[in-house]
């Protein structure tokens, strides 16, 4: 059956999984193809930034292997066609259980990255999480992604958290819907692949090797020319008038540090009246503590394997955390998601939605501004098709199936 015939046999509104004939889909049918293309298209240092993890990348490999190992037993004779994939998170409707995770410095991978991701998320109607150290301001993001904007906050404790509270106030004024506090960066970590290409230091001073790599990547260079140098847009203004790029970098390094304590989280909870999520939770006891503080969402994540490679794959702790949380809060997931099938695995094991980071960077590296939209198209269609294939009638329905999950971690009484 060719694509046209296939599309004609699928009910209206459910045809997305059959758009296989477009050129982009032909060349880049999965995120892995985008990763391969990105490797050859952008400067080497930019690819290494998008791709590298802590240590030997063992955490990244474990995240992928953990997801790959999850098997879903299908049921047939139930669903005649593709199921709907819309979901509601914190009272808002989204097109699919998929979101863009917060990332600092994505513009290294493709200049203008933050804006492209914001626009793509708004178009697709999925959450876009701007990072504290993202490349556009909260206010710019709010104009690009007014209906789907979330904001991620790092700990900035100096002067009694003045900068954290200031960013929170700006989020409130700009209409950010969800505030995400990242708890899993207690110490600065070393990512060897970044160090080796010259991105490990506290200064950005491209040497001849980096310049050569830029010159060999004309598309990337053109985008740099059009969009300008990446900078910490949300923090820049506090670094002083006429602060250079390196002044802003060292200001950010001095301000940001450590992981929020429970007392600090309680203070933010007190002031932020809209949904509040903790990102980086890996233990049911921490999820319980979060709920006791009135947190609305628990985001299970090991930071995509970028902090320390000894952590379990988040997919392996997800069922225990989800069981602990029950219906008391929303459970979100990331780390290793490269397809809609991975999204379905996470949803089947208890997440309400799965987010991705690196997949969007590879999309940007391969396709520039078109990348994030293509990644979302692929993932949303794959989610719908994977649910349809196992006979699930909705994302939540995937939880009712029989699942083999060899890596699932059991937590002793705590
Ligand atoms: C380049 C890069 C920068 C990141 N920066 C941040 C950040 O500033 N704040 C944060 O909470 N998480 C950050 N993350 C982690 C992501 O939010 C997310 O947890 C992770 O990418 C998910 O794993 P995945 O890349 O395998 O999808 C970053 C990830 C990448 C790849």
Q: Which domains does the chain have, with CATH numbers?
A: 3-8+18-192+253-404 (3.20.20.70)
Longest dimension (CA), the chain: 66
**For residue range 157-187, what is the model confidence (pLDDT) as tens digits?**
999 999 999 999 999 999 999 999 999 999 9
DSSP designation for 238: G
Residue pair 202/188 in contact by the 8 Å Cβ criterion: no
Of 11-15, 64-68, 77-81, 103-107, which range is least confident? 11-15
Bridge pairing between strands 92-94 and 87-89: antiparallel
Q: Is the pLDDT of residue 246 over 90?
A: no
Is 44 an active-site residue?
no
129 has which bridge partners?
Answer: 150
Q: Torsion angle of alpha carbons 76, 80, 86, 87, nearest 10°? A: -40
Q: Using CA positions, which residue lies closest to atom 30 of ligand 1?
A: 103
Q: Using CA positions, which residue lies closest to atom 3 of ligand 1?
A: 103
For 97-182, list the strands marked E by DSSP.
98-100, 128-130, 149-153, 178-182
pLDDT of 7: 39
Indicate if ligand 1 lies below 6 Å from the C-beta of 335.
Answer: yes
pLDDT of 6: 39
The CB density around residue 16, as the number of other CB atoms within 10 Å, is 18
pLDDT of 94: 98
Indicate if ligand 1 lies below 6 Å from the C-beta of 102.
Answer: yes
Average pLDDT over residues 64-86: 94
- Average per-residue pLDDT in the chain? 93
Q: Is the pLDDT of residue 309 over 80?
A: yes
- pLDDT range class, residue 400, cuts 50, 70, 90: very high
pLDDT of 2: 40
Average pLDDT over residues 330-354: 98
pLDDT of 78: 83
> Which residues neighbour 50 within 8 Å (Cβ) at sequence distance 6 or greater?
38, 109, 358, 361, 362, 365
Indicate if ligand 1 lies below 6 Å from the C-beta of 52.
Answer: no
Q: Using CA positions, which residue lies closest to atom 8 of ligand 1?
A: 104
The closest of 80, 154, 162 to 393, measured between CA atoms, is 80
């Amino acid at each position: 059956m060719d694509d046209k015939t296939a599309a004609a046999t699928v009910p209206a509104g459910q045809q997305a999984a059959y758009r296989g004939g477009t050129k982009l889909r032909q060349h880049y049918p999965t995120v892995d193809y985008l990763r391969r293309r990105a490797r050859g298209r952008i400067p080497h240092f930019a690819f290494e930034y998008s791709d590298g993890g802590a240590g030997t990348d063992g955490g990244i490999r474990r995240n992928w292997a953990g997801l790959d190992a999850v098997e879903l037993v299908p049921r047939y004779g139930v669903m005649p066609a593709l199921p709907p994939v819309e979901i509601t998170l914190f009272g808002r409707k989204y097109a699919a259980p998929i979101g863009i995770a917060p990332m600092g410095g994505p513009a290294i991978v493709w200049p203008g990255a933050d804006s492209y991701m914001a626009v793509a998320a708004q178009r697709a109607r999925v959450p876009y999480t701007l990072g504290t150290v993202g490349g556009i301001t909260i206010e710019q993001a709010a104009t690009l992604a007014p209906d789907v904007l979330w904001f991620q906050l790092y700990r900035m404790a100096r002067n009694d958290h003045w900068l954290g509270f200031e960013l929170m106030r700006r989020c409130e004024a700009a209409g950010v819907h969800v505030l995400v506090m990242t708890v899993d960066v207690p110490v600065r970590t070393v990512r060897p692949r970044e160090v080796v290409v010259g991105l490990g230091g506290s200064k950005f001073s491209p040497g001849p090797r980096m310049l050569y790599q830029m010159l060999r990547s004309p598309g990337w260079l053109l985008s740099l020319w059009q969009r300008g140098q990446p900078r910490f847009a949300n923090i820049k203004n506090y670094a002083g008038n006429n602060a250079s790029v390196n002044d802003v970098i060292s200001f950010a390094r001095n301000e940001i540090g450590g992981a929020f304590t429970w007392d600090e989280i309680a203070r933010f909870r007190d002031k932020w009246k809209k949904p509040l999520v903790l990102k980086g939770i890996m233990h049911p006891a921490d999820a319980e503590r979060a709920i006791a503080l009135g947190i609305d969402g628990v985001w299970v994540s090991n930071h995509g394997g970028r902090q320390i490679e000894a952590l379990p794959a988040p997919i392996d702790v997800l069922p225990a955390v989800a069981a602990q949380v029950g219906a008391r809060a929303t459970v979100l997931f990331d780390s290793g998601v490269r397809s809609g099938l991975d999204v379905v695995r996470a949803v089947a094991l208890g997440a309400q939605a799965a987010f991705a980071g690196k997949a969007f960077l590879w999309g940007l590296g391969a396709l520039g501004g078109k990348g994030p939209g293509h990644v979302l198209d692929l993932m949303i269609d794959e989610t719908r098709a994977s649910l349809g294939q196992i006979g699930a009638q909705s994302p939540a329905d995937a939880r009712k199936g029989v699942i083999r999950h060899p890596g699932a971690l059991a937590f002793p009484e705590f």
